[in-house]
Amino acid sequence: MTEIRTVGVCGAGTMGSGIAIVAARAGYRVVLFDTSDASLERARRQTEGFFGKSVERGKMTRDQADAALAACTTTTALADLAGCDAVIEAVFENLEVKRGLFRQLNGICPEHTLFASNTSTLSITEIASGCGREDRVVGMHFCLPAQLMKLVEMSPGLNTSEETFAAAWAFCEALGQRPVKTQDTPGFVLNYFLVPFNNDVIRLIEAGVAAPADVDRAIKAGLGYKMGPCELLDLIGLDTQVLLCEAFYGVTHDPRCATPPLLKRMVAAGHLGRKSGRGLLHLRPRRDVRRLR
């Protein structure tokens, strides 16, 4: 198995940027790809800010931070990932988009390159299907924010070779993360619980039971969560939650995974969370809502 030295990350959103930070911090060369120059610029600022704060807090030396930043490059040309030993896709939750991306990468990257998907709900087997190297595709679901959370759900597809999974596991540990093995099932472990749970929170708010900030305070104080569900949803993006709902509901047909009406309205209005400056935590309590029964 070829040693992994250069890591490609596809998608410069919140998750992709975080994964790129994780890889650079661990000493890998990183090529971050996105079709949007604006997204790459935001990722660059996020990376500089994160390493700057790491130095201020004594987590890294200035030399270490500078080396990590120097190891990161960005590109809008997928062909620039040709020199990568591993590529992690972190694009939005759409099966055909992810599948098409891996098909393109198969014609660009050398045979030894390992492909990993950061999907949180979709089947690794289906994502890998028809890409040309199904045996070298594995699921690596990082937790948000990736640069702070250590857990990674590692999921082999039906055609993933044992050698590939072992290499991906070792790579995950070399990144400084904590892998757990899951089967290729909808939601794996975390989102099996989290997607319907977050939808329940949104429905609770829509019914007027409590304001978003109060829901978060209750969850953090009562259940010990470091981040409330509304804060988390605003961080990942309400549009991302819609995609998760559509992907998960399409497979499970679980009513709790169906997109809540309030979520649809907020996304339609452009209230996406932190990325747009307005989200769940900006909602004002309403007096004319229907209560839960």
- Residues involved in catalysis: 120, 141, 153, 191
Buried-exposed string 79-108: b where 16+ CB fall within 10 A, e elsewhere: ebbeebbbbbbbbbbebeebbebbeebbeb
* Cα 249 off chain centre by: 19
Residues near 89 by beta carbon (within 8 Å), at least 6 away in sequence: 10, 11, 98, 101, 102, 115, 116, 117, 118
The Cα 164–Cα 1 span in angstroms is: 8
Neighbouring C-alpha atoms within 13 Å toward the C-beta of 34? 23
Give the E-state strand segments of the chain in sequence order. 6-10, 29-33, 72-75, 86-89, 114-117, 137-142, 151-156, 178-181
**CA dihedral of 124, 127, 132, 133, whole degrees rounded to 10:** -20
Give 222-231 contacts, CB < 8 A, sequence gap 24+. 229/197, 229/198, 229/201, 230/201, 230/205, 230/279, 230/280, 230/281, 231/281
